[in-house]
Structure 1
Amino acid sequence: MKIHHLRNATFVIESETHHLLIDPMLSDKGALPPFARLRHKARRNPTVSLPESAPQVLANVTTCLISHSQKFGLKGLQHTDHLDEAGASFLRENRIPVVCRRQDEAFLKKEGIYVETPLDYWQPKGFRGGAITAVPAQHGHGWVHHVMANGAGFYLKLPGEPSIYIAGDTVFTKEVARALAELKPDIAVVAAGSASLDVGGPILMTLDEILAFVKAAPGKVVANHLEALNHCPITRGQLKEALATSGLMSNTFIPDDGETLAFV
């Protein structure tokens, strides 16, 4: 298995016959407004361009997994850092089949996206000769997660490949701990930017939670959702330092944009 990290939470899982695109945010640098204006510097998003390798990687995509996209079915509340208009256009134009949580199915279909497989939490479904399971993802601490687009993580097992759990936009919950303990993924992907908005608490894992996630993971960990959005303050350097101090760097990968990781 290869993981082609593009930017933020957007990456492609390459297996022998499948190329799975995760959460396509494909806009040009600065095409979207800031996601926070007071707590963080009001820079337009994404704050970095897609890597030069992106067109070649995207040309091979066969399926897309979308962890979350909307709240209350309103386009104005769409989480464009996981599905922006450029990403939606790519899916429509190429008729890419999409896997999502069932709560996002109607919204995505209304956007003209081909939803092949809607998932219910903790109910495995056959997928590309293997299986996929949706795991609840709580997008924030305290009251703020009630107004966020809570979504799903995905546990994926393809024939002859390492198992992988993509936690999605979530804080460290009992459901996330359950996925790590019961599903025992060979690879776990964590959104590590510690994002927050202008109000409320963190909407992703804090640094302490990220360290707890890495400690609980039974296999390797890949950290993404870094250095691409104005409301994600943790840098790759800060995360590496914290992991090294805790003795957790040996099995943790923090890919640069455009980097490809290979796992066997």
Structure 2
Amino acid sequence: MKIHQLRNATLVIESGNHAILIDPMLSAKSAQPPFSLFRAKPRRNPTVELPNNANDILSKVTHAIITHSQTFGIQALQHTDHLDQDGETFLKNRNIPIATPAKDADYLRRKGLDVVCDATPWQRTEFAGGFITAIPAQHGHGWIHKVMANGAGFVIALSNEPSVYVSGDTVLTDDVRRALDELKPDIAIVAAGNAKMDVGNPLLMGADELIEFIQRSPGQVIANHMEALNHCHIDRTQLSALITQYGLGDKVLIPADGETLTFAERITA
């Protein structure tokens, strides 16, 4: 298995003839407005370009998972850091089959996207030659998550490959703990950017939650969702220092944009 980190939460999981694109934000640097004006420097998003090898990686894509997209069905509130206009165009032009939380499925179909899997929490469903299980995600602490695009993480189990849990945009909840404890993913991908809007509590896990997530994870952890959006307040260097402080450096990978991580096939009995 290969996991290609593109930018922010956008990555591709490649196994054999299948390549699953996660949360495509494919727009050019500065194509979107700032997500924070006061808590962070009001830079336009994305704050960096896609890596030079992005087109080569995207050419392999056969399927896609969108962890969350809409709030109240309002286009202006779409989470464009997980599905932007360029991402929509890519998916439509290539007629890519998509899995997404059931609450988002009709919204994406109205956009002309090929949603083939309306994922229901904790229900194991066939997808991309394997199985996926949706895990409820809470996008923020306190009241703010009620107006955010709460979606789902996904545990992806492909034949003879390590299982992968993509957390999606979430804080640490009992559902996230249950996914780690019961489904025991070999690889857990966590959104680590500590995003904050100008009002309300953080939208992603804070330092203590990240450490618990890493400690609870049964296998390797990959951290992403950093250094591409103006409202994310932790970068790769800061995260590396944090996990080193807790003696977890050997357990966590923090890939650069454009980096490919390779994992051995699972050996079955």
Tell me the TM-score range normalised by the shorter chain: over 0.9
1:129-144 equivalence runs, <5 A? 129-144=129-144
* Code of the aligned partner of 1:118: D
User: What is the distance in 2 between the residues matched to 1:129 and 1:262?
Assistant: 19
Q: Which residue number in structure 2 is paired with residue 192 of structure 1? A: 192
Could you say which residue in structure 1 is the equivalent of 2:267?
none
- Find runs of 4+ consecutive structure 1 residues off by over 6 angstroms: none
1:61 aligns to what?
A: 61
Partner AA of 2:259 in structure 1: E
- Displacement, 1:107? 0.7
Deviations, residues 17-67 of structure 1 (Å, cap 9, x unaligned) = 100000000000000000010111100000000000000000110000000
| Matched residue type, 2:233 | P
1:99-146 Cα deviation digits (max 9, x unpaired)? 101100111011111101111001111223321100000000000000
Count the aligned residue pairs. Answer: 264
Q: Deviation of residue 251 (structure 1)?
A: 1.3
Matches within 5 A, 1:78-117: 78-117=78-117
Q: CA deviation at 1:90?
A: 0.4
1:185 is paired with a residue whose SS is coil
TM-score when normalising by structure 2 = 0.97
Match runs of 1:209-228 below 5 Å: 209-228=209-228
- Give me the whole-angstrom Cα distance separating, in 1, the residues matched to 2:179 and 2:165: 8
Unaligned runs of 5+ in 1: none
1:12 Cα deviation (Å)?
0.3
**Aligned residue type for 2:263:** F
Distance 2:56 2:246 in 1: 37
Alpha-carbon distance in 1 for matches of 2:122, 2:214 = 22
The one-letter amino acid of 1:229's match is L
The residue that corresponds to 2:2 in the other structure is 2
- Aligned match of 2:250: 250
Q: SS at the partner of 2:176? A: helix
Could you say which residue in structure 2 is the equivalent of 1:119?
119
Matches within 5 A, 1:158-237: 158-237=158-237
Structure 2, unmatched stretches of 5+, are: 265-269
Tell me by how many angstroms 1:238 deviates.
Answer: 0.3
In structure 2, give the amino acid aligned to 1:198.
D
**Is the 2:63–2:128 Cα contact (8 Å) retained in structure 1?**
no
SS at match of 2:222: strand
Q: 2:68, 2:104 within 8 Å by CA — same for their partners in 1?
A: yes
Determine whether 1:77 maps to 2:81. Answer: no
CA RMSD of aligned residues (A): 0.6
Partners of 2:260 and 2:208 in 1: how far apart? 27
Report if the CA contact (8 A) 2:164-2:186 is conserved: yes
Amino acid at match of 1:218: P
Aligned to 1:11: 11
Could you say what secondary structure the match of 2:146 adopts?
Answer: helix
- What code does the residue aligned with 2:201 have? G
Alpha-carbon distance in 2 for matches of 1:127, 1:199: 38
Q: Percent identity?
A: 56
Conserved 8 A contact 2:131-2:158: yes
Give secondary structure in 1 for the equivalent of 2:56. Answer: helix
Judge conservation of contact 2:69–2:78 (CA < 8 Å) in 1: yes
Instruction: Look up the SS of the partner of 1:171 in the other structure.
Output: coil
Partner amino acid, structure 1, of 2:3: I
